[in-house]
Amino acid sequence: MLNTSEKFVEISTQKSFDIPHRSIINNNIGKYDAAVDRGLSRLQNLENAKKKGHQTKWKVMENLDKLLPEFESNFQKKGGKVLWANTVDEANQEILNILKKVNAKSVIKSKSMVTEEIHLNEFLESNGIESLESDLGEYIVQLLGQKPYHIVTPAMHLSKEDIAKLFNEKFGTPVNASPQELTLKARELLRDKYLTADVGITGANFLIADCGSIAITENEGNARLTTTFPKIHIAIVGIEKMIPSITDLDLFWPMLSTHGTGQNLTVYNTILNGPRQANETDGPEEMYVILLDNGRTELLAQKEQRQGLYCIRCGACLNGCPIYKNVGGHAYDTTYSGPIGSIITPHLKGMKEFKHLSYASSLCGKCSEVCPVKIDIHKMLLLNRRDSVEEDLSTKTEKAGWYFWKNGMLKRSFMDQFGGNFKNFILSKFFKKTWGEQRKLPKVAVKSFSKQWKNNHNQKD
């Protein structure tokens, strides 16, 4: 059975040479890039905005121990309930306890990466509870039995023809149905679910400390329906999503939407303060916020790498990454794919199993360049590589290879001891598979540069 890194190599190799797949994602990312470029051109002092975002998130991480209790206190004053979950199992159990208390049989969900992180749909299904995704992209990948492909656009890897074929097989719609017709069909199927679901579950884009609120940003309105119709609303959020004040949304909402989709603002931006109050006509009767750790405090303890927690999940680094554009989101086999996933996953799920992601990079720096909160992503990748070596996670073959390489590079006579033909034999014998079946191995010159120099020098004498 293949381990995680071997699976990554196998899947990424297949996807790199899957021309239709690459065509779809490059076409879709190309559209995003064009929209984002237009959106960014409308922002004044973009660099200053990025610096301010970075500084604000730095302040949050330095004061998280104070901001989390402040949020909890302010949220509880409005009748909400805050639960703390250290692990995936604790988070799922807290949700199950709430559902069992009200004898819930069905759940409607809006898009949430944290619920993907804790594998909530599978957990609820194993406990006999129906969980339905209401975001169109999430709904499509759920029908396919897949995981989201992209942080912002879960079904980015599918063409409109793929989706039309899926709906034809599942619901009998015309195989040549237009995107508008498919959207109307999904709306028809989902509307009743909002009315009949016992519980609505969402994530949140931001936790707001000074007013004890959560902020949700979306384009379809499904989160608003998910939080309005069911009698109980559960929001599960990573502790790093904290911002100090509601006034910080003035910066983070436009930066999130513009870097994510190129919009000035997304269509729906909602601030939720708790359950329905006596003078209000809609909203849930009960509202819970579950604050998830799941390795985040371990990353917070890494002073050089805690920048990974600044991420606002805009997806810009995925769209800019040449590796992601070639291998796609599913190759990473993690909740958070692309560059940001590569730097945080080893800390959230273990360096030993996921160190390979930090090597799946060209280190071109595009990810750091496009990040709206100036996370130094390519530097974090190098720090992860350093940590994996210091933790002695390198294989024996890797250690031996670097040992001989280091000694050879330090001593010219050692390098020149063997001729080019022998070196080419070693390369073809031991490095062909590592180099890649589709790539041609470089050829070492029969005579080294120093030997050629000596020969030429002697001829001149």
pLDDT reading at 461 higher than 60: no
Residue 330 structure tokens: 């599913």
pLDDT reading at 460 higher than 70: no
Cα 38 from Cα 42, distance rounded (Å):
7
Residue 341 structure tokens: 């996933």
pLDDT reading at 430 higher than 90: no
Residue 225 structure tokens: 């329906």
Cα 33 from Cα 261, distance rounded (Å):
8
Cα 24 from Cα 171, distance rounded (Å):
24
3-state SS, residue 123: helix
DSSP label of 78: T
Phi, psi of 107 (to 5 degrees): -130, 135
Cα 145 from Cα 392, distance rounded (Å):
37
Helical ranges in 301-395 per DSSP H = 316-320, 322-327, 338-349, 351-354, 366-370, 377-390
Q: For residue 356, give the nearest of 2, 1, 9, 55 by alpha carbon.
A: 9
Furthest-apart CA atoms within the chain: distance in Å: 101
Mean pLDDT of all residues belonging to the chain: 93
Q: Could you count the other beta carbons within 10 Å of the beta carbon of residue 71? A: 26
Mean pLDDT within 433-457: 83
Domains detected in the chain: 43-294 (3.40.50.10420), 399-460 (no CATH)
> What is the reported pLDDT for 459?
56
Confidence band for 420, pLDDT divided at 50, 70 and 90: confident
Percent of the residues in the chain that have a pLDDT greater than 70, as a whole number: 99
Task: List pLDDT tens digits, range 162-191.
Answer: 999 999 999 999 999 999 999 999 999 999
Task: List pLDDT tens digits, range 12-48.
Answer: 989 999 999 999 999 999 999 999 999 999 998 999 9
> What is the reported pLDDT for 383?
96
Q: For residue 238, give the nearest of 68, 63, 121 by alpha carbon.
A: 68
Q: For residue 333, give the nearest of 357, 313, 314 by alpha carbon.
A: 357
Task: List pLDDT tens digits, range 239-269.
Answer: 999 999 999 999 999 999 999 999 999 999 9
Cα 184 from Cα 166, distance rounded (Å):
15
Burial (CB count within 10 angstroms: exposed 0-12, middle 13-18, buried 19+), residue 56: middle
pLDDT reading at 409 higher than 70: yes
Mean pLDDT within 84-108: 97
Q: Which residues contact 377 (CB under 8 A, 6 or more apart)?
A: 317, 339, 340, 343, 367, 368, 371
Residue 54 structure tokens: 């970075």
